[in-house]
């Protein structure tokens, strides 16, 4: 199987659908250096720089938002989707991949629809507990389906679906002592890491601003804001970053005692792999609420569903910081939340599909 093969991944808009695919690509790149790996994303998405840094050939196609409601923008979305189908057709005919692999994202849908017409093998991966619209639109034509949680199998055809966990980069781990020394953090003051996802989250940024007076006297706060999404001034025990590369995230995770973040499943997977105590703040009314409840039900995280009442968050965090036993319990449950070696399992399925 070492002869020339072309593998096509797709995803984007956020890094959520991208991170697990890059983990799988990394496995395959090491085993098959002669294979050519392509990635289809959005024209202006944050994923482009991340993907190209990993050595994949990047292609952009139009992205149409998959709205669940009627709006004046819906007609434009239909036009964009039609354009995306045409671009996907020419792209697939030009690349002719042995397999197309996606983990959700609206940018993947036209590719999978065209791949089905062209009888190309496809693999979709379901990260979140409940499938989003993109995977629901792609599942009927998929050759194989993988899911992160056993509870998700029921949403798909059981004959072609397998639970493998969620792929994650093994290089994410670092020693806490080394991380704190590298970041020049105080050794005996606990660290809270706030994240809003790869593109930041305005609501979490506003929450951090309100919480700082209560948190900085007892903890060091590291804040991943997203580009141009926060204006919190510099102050003692607080530092912020617009965006962090893989090495930066590795150090931040290792240094943190508690992580406060949205409940996207890529992030939950990283927390599980590393065994971190976490407080999850899901996007209201989204699939993230099911993710957060899944973690809560397994004793793997605390969750806050209403950030409009920040007065509830500070006592929760301070209580966690004062209780190493709670941190240890949450971290252990989080570590046991998901099956291991998902990237290798998914890479094995890709090899089967390539033939």
Tell me the CATH number at 236: 3.40.50.2000
Do residue 150 and residue 182 come from a single domain? no
Question: Domain span at residue 261?
Answer: 171-335
- pLDDT at residue 202, rounded to an integer: 81
Residue 161 lies in a domain: yes
CA distance 11 to 112: 11
Number of neighbouring beta carbons within 10 Å of residue 121: 18
Q: Examine the domain organization and report whether 330 and 343 are in the same domain.
A: no
Measured CA to CA, the distance from residue 215 to residue 236 in angstroms comes to 11
355 residues of the chain, pLDDT tens digit each: 557 899 999 998 888 899 999 999 999 999 999 999 999 999 888 899 999 999 999 999 988 766 655 666 677 778 889 999 999 999 999 999 999 999 999 999 999 999 999 999 999 999 999 999 999 999 999 999 999 999 999 999 999 999 999 999 888 999 999 999 999 999 999 999 999 865 457 888 989 999 999 999 999 999 999 877 788 998 999 999 988 888 999 999 999 999 999 999 999 999 999 999 999 999 988 899 999 999 999 999 999 987 766 678 999 999 999 999 999 999 999 999 999 999 999 999 999 999 8
> In this structure, are 51 and 191 located in the same domain?
no
CA distance 329 to 294: 16
Q: Residues in the chain, how many?
A: 355
Residues 155 and 181 in one domain: no
Strand residues in 229-293 grouped as ranges (E): 238-241, 258-261, 277-280
Neighbours of 44 (CB within 10 A): 11
Q: What pLDDT is stored for residue 136 in this prediction? A: 97
Asked if residue 83 is part of any domain, the answer here is yes
Q: Is 124 helix (H, G, I), strand (E, B) or coil?
A: strand
Same domain? For 137 and 272 the reply is: no
200 and 146 within one domain: no
Residue 241, beta-bridge partner list: 224
pLDDT at residue 162 in the model: 98
Shortest CA distance to 245 belongs to which of 342, 344, 171, 331? 171
Question: Which of 140, 162, 138, 128 is CA-nearest to residue 280?
Answer: 128
pTM of the model as a whole = 0.88
Residue 1: inside a domain:
no
Look at residue 67 in the predicted model and tell me its pLDDT. Answer: 61
Q: How many structural domains does the chain have?
A: 2
Pairwise CA distance, residues 76 & 74, whole Å: 5
Residue 154 lies in a domain: yes
Q: Which two tokens stand for residue 145?
A: 């389906």
């Amino acid at each position: 199987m070492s002869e020339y093969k072309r593998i096509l991944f797709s995803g984007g808009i956020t890094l959520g659908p991208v991170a697990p695919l890059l983990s799988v690509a990394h496995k395959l790149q090491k085993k098959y250096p002669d294979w050519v790996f392509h990635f289809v994303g959005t024209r202006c998405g944050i994923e482009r720089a991340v993907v190209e840094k990993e050595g994949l050939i990047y292609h952009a196609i139009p992205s149409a938002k998959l709205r669940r409601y009627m709006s004046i923008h819906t007609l434009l979305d239909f036009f964009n989707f039609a354009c995306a189908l045409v671009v996907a057709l020419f792209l697939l005919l030009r690349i002719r991949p042995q397999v197309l692999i996606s983990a959700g994202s609206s940018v993947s849908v036209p590719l999978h629809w065209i791949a089905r017409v062209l009888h190309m093998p496809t693999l979709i991966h379901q990260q979140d507990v409940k499938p989003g619209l993109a995977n629901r639109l792609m599942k009927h034509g998929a050759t194989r389906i993988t899911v992160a949680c056993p509870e998700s199998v029921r949403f798909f055809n059981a004959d072609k679906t397998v639970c493998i966990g969620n792929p994650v980069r093994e290089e994410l781990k670092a020693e806490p002592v080394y991380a704190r020394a590298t970041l020049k953090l105080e050794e005996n003051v606990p660290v809270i890491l706030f994240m809003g996802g790869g593109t930041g989250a305005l609501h979490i940024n506003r929450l951090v601003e309100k919480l700082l007076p209560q948190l900085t006297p007892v903890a060091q706060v590291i804040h991943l804001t997203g580009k141009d999404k926060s204006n919190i001034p510099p102050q003692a025990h607080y530092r912020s970053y617009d965006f962090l590369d893989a090495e930066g995230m590795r150090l931040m995770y290792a240094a943190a005692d508690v992580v406060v973040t949205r409940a996207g499943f890529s992030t939950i997977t990283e927390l599980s792999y590393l065994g971190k105590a976490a407080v999850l703040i899901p996007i209201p009314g989204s699939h993230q609420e099911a993710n957060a409840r899944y973690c809560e039900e397994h004793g793997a995280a605390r969750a806050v569903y209403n950030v409009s009442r920040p007065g509830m968050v500070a006592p929760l965090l301070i209580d966690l910081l004062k209780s190493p036993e709670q941190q240890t319990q949450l971290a252990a449950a989080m570590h046991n939340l998901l099956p291991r070696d998902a990237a290798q399992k998914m890479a094995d399925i890709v090899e089967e599909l390539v033939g």
